[in-house]
């Protein structure tokens, strides 16, 4: 099943789409200067999906054929929406919401309902679109809500239609039921009315809201939160928080265990299997697939955690594969090509890159393992470093099955440690070690007897003079 929100179309929607082909227009031609961003406003990412992608996803899940109106950042918007297979209409200059829908007319069918919505309200749900469609009987059906602060919105004025903020009388300005910007309108009605829209000074904009009149159906019990418009980074973060919880709840419903639905952040591109565990504050992105347990504050990108594997607190994994029974962390770092086979143990402050650790191998503390092949059940002592880089090229290290590498060894690649070999602690190895051999590279220790206290005395005297 698809655990992502908006992923499941209800029976109501299928009935509607069977009755009539449904078209939707997404208005996404605006610039969004308040984001203070080089990126188009509607392309800002929310959990691995561009903002406008959330709207498109909701519309497609009710069976709509989607047309996106573009102008600013047109090429970028087209490219980002490629996975959704939508159609585009180009607004030659953004001259208001009425003009935006007018530029989409050529893409609309002759008859049938058209859902119209803005591209910057990513919290819109499929359920609300259904509800509006189900209530659609006249030429126009409008979704409205009671705003805490109606400033900036068009007011729903009974017996009149929508009066924009700029045109409100003081009495109208006090009305708190406002236009959400989500509508269903009949295609025929749009074709008939859009050409006659009159520009509103001072910016000479054409307002879509002029098509709403006393005959229109208004559903005024939507919730304000769902129509949060993203105009700046604070609203972007707010929207991200709501979506995070929605995605997590949807995964939880499929049997994923979350320590905390609010703080864990799982992108919609991620696959979580039933039985997977996600710790407090964990961040999982990209093409990650998780069936095992991910501890608190771990960061996973493009990482595959098999069932029975455990990633402990604070580990950062990117492009890694962790097999059943393996335990990683706390505070470990797995980089691209880290392949940890069954029952491997990678502990605190261990970094692994482009290396296979075969079944049961252990590197429990403070190591760098890069470009290495570590044999099954090999033991890598604390502080071992594979010196894989000579300043020009990278070289590989091969460690045989069951080998034992003493603590603080430097393995200068290219290097082979044979099966079952033992390397003494502190060795710097530049030559291959045969299987079953003991290699120790260590300078002899010099003991100067009865002299430690004398040396301390010397230091004290010197210190006193300063
Ligand atoms: C609009 C409504 C207002 C409603 C509010 C809800 C009109 C005239 N007013 O006001 O009644 O309460 O939304 O949020 O429609 N866009 C284009 N091309 C344009 C102009 C706008 O594509 O030429 C897009 C924008 O990118 C945006 C959406 O249409 O996604 C809404 O436009 P915006 O200017 O934000 O309308 P509001 O002033 O908020
Ligand atoms: Ca707006």
* Ligand 1 contacts CB of residue 98 (under 6 A): no
Question: Residue ranges per domain, the chain?
Answer: 7-233, 257-439
User: What global pTM score does this model have?
Assistant: 0.93
Beta bridge partners of 50: 45
Whether 121 contacts 143, CB under 8 Å: no
At the fourth CATH level, which superfamily is domain 257-439?
Hexapeptide repeat proteins (2.160.10.10)
Ion ligand 2 residue ranges (Cβ < 5 Å): 229
Q: How confident is the model at residue 34 (pLDDT cuts 50, 70, 90)?
A: very high
Higher pLDDT, 463 or 271: 271
Of the residues 72, 200, 365, 395, which is catalytic? Answer: 365
Query: For the residues of 32-82, what is the DSSP string, one character each?
Result: -GGG--SS-GGG-EETTEEHHHHHHHHHHHTTEEEEEEEBTBHHHHHHHTG
Residues, the chain: 466
Summarize pLDDT for 125-139 with one digit per residue, the tens.
999 999 999 999 999
Q: How confident is the model at residue 20 (pLDDT cuts 50, 70, 90)?
A: confident
Can you tell me which residue has the tokens 């359920």? Answer: 127
Looking at domain 7-233, does it have CATH number 3.30.70.100?
Answer: no
Whether 436 contacts 450, CB under 8 Å: no
Of 25, 13, 97, the closest CA to residue 56 belongs to 25
Average pLDDT, the chain: 95
Summarize pLDDT for 322-371 with one digit per residue, the tens.
999 999 999 999 999 999 999 999 999 999 999 999 999 999 999 999 99
End-to-end CA distance of the chain: 75
Q: What distances in angstroms separate CA 391 from CA 31, 81, 175, 394, 416, one per listed residue?
A: 47, 43, 70, 8, 20
Whether 218 contacts 156, CB under 8 Å: yes
Please give the Cα distance from 264 to 16 (Å, whole number): 36
Name the pairing type of β-strands 299-301 and 283-285: parallel
Q: Mean of the pLDDT values across residues 193-208?
A: 96
**Distance of CA 444 from the midpoint of ligand 1 (Å):** 80
Q: Which residue's CA is the closest to the ligand 1 atom numbered 28?
A: 118
> Does the pLDDT value for residue 10 go beyond 50?
no
Q: Mean of the pLDDT values across residues 178-203?
A: 97
Summarize pLDDT for 45-82 with one digit per residue, the tens.
999 999 999 999 999 999 999 999 999 999 999 999 99
**Distance of CA 7 from the midpoint of ligand 1 (Å):** 27
Tokens of 442: 């260590």
Sequence-ordered list of residues with C-beta below 8 angstroms from that of 424, at least 6 positions apart, any chain: 406, 409, 438, 439, 440, 441, 442
Q: What pLDDT does residue 30 have?
A: 84
What ligand has the least distance to the C-alpha of 100?
Answer: 1
**Distance of CA 245 from the midpoint of ligand 1 (Å):** 27
Q: What pLDDT does residue 444 have?
A: 93
Q: Mean of the pLDDT values across residues 155-162?
A: 97
Tokens of 9: 């179309």
365 assigned to active site: yes
> Does the pLDDT value for residue 3 go beyond 60?
no
Q: In the β-sheet with 333-334, what is the strand arrangement from edge to edge? A: 265-266, 283-285, 299-301, 316-318, 333-334, 351-353, 368-370, 385-387, 410-412, 428-429
* Ligand 1 contacts CB of residue 181 (under 6 A): yes
Percent of the chain with pLDDT over 70: 95
What ligand has the least distance to the C-alpha of 165?
Answer: 1
Q: What pLDDT does residue 464 have?
A: 67
Q: Is 386 exposed, middle or buried (0-12, 13-18, 19+ CB in 10 A)?
A: buried
């Amino acid at each position: 099943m698809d655990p992502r929100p908006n992923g499941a179309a209800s029976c109501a929607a299928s009935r509607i789409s069977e009755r009539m082909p449904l078209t939707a227009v997404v208005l996404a031609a605006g610039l969004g200067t308040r984001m203070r961003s080089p990126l188009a406003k509607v392309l800002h990412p929310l959990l691995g999906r561009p903002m406008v992608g959330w709207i498109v996803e909701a519309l497609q899940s009710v069976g709509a054929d989607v047309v996106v109106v573009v102008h600013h950042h047109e090429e970028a918007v087209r490219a980002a929406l490629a996975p959704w297979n939508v159609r585009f209409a180009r607004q030659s200059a953004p001259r208001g919401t009425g003009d935006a829908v007018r530029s989409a007319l050529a893409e609309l069918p002759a008859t049938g309902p058209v859902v119209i919505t803005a591209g910057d309200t990513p919290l819109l749900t499929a359920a609300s679109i259904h509800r509006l469609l189900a209530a659609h009987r006249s030429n126009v059906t409008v979704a409205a809500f009671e705003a805490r602060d109606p400033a900036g919105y068009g007011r729903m004025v009974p017996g009149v239609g929508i009066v924009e903020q700029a045109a409100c009388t003081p009495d109208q300005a006090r009305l708190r039921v406002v236009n959400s910007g989500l509508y269903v309108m009949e295609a025929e009605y749009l074709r008939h009315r859009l050409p006659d829209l009159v520009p509103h000074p001072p910016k000479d904009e054409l307002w879509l809201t002029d098509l709403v009149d006393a005959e229109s159906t208004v559903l005024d019990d939507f919730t304000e939160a769902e129509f949060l418009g993203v105009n700046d980074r604070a609203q972007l973060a707010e929207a991200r928080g709501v979506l995070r919880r929605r995605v997590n709840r949807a995964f939880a419903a499929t049997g994923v265990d979350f320590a905390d639905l609010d703080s864990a952040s799982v992108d919609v591109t991620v696959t979580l299997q039933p039985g997977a565990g996600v710790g407090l504050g964990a961040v999982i992105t990209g093409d990650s697939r998780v069936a095992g347990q991910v501890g608190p504050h771990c960061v996973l990108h493009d990482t595959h955690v098999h069932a029975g594997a455990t990633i402990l607190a604070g580990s950062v994994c990117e492009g890694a594969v962790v097999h059943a029974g393996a335990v990683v962390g706390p505070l470990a770092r797995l980089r691209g090509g880290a392949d940890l086979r069954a029952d491997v143990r990678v502990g605190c402050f261990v970094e692994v890159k482009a290396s296979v650790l075969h079944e049961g191998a252990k590197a429990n503390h403070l190591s760098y393992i890069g470009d290495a092949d570590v044999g099954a059940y090999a033991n890598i002592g604390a502080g071992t470093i594979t010196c894989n880089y000579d300043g020009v090229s990278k070289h590989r290290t091969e460690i045989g099955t069951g080998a034992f590498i003493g603590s603080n060894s430097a393995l200068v690649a290219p290097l082979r440690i044979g099966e079952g070999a033992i390397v003494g602690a502190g060795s710097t190895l530049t030559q291959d070690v045969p299987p079953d051999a003991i290699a120790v590279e260590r300078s002899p220790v010099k003991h100067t007897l009865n002299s430690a206290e004398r040396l301390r005395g010397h230091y004290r005297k010197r210190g006193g003079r300063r």
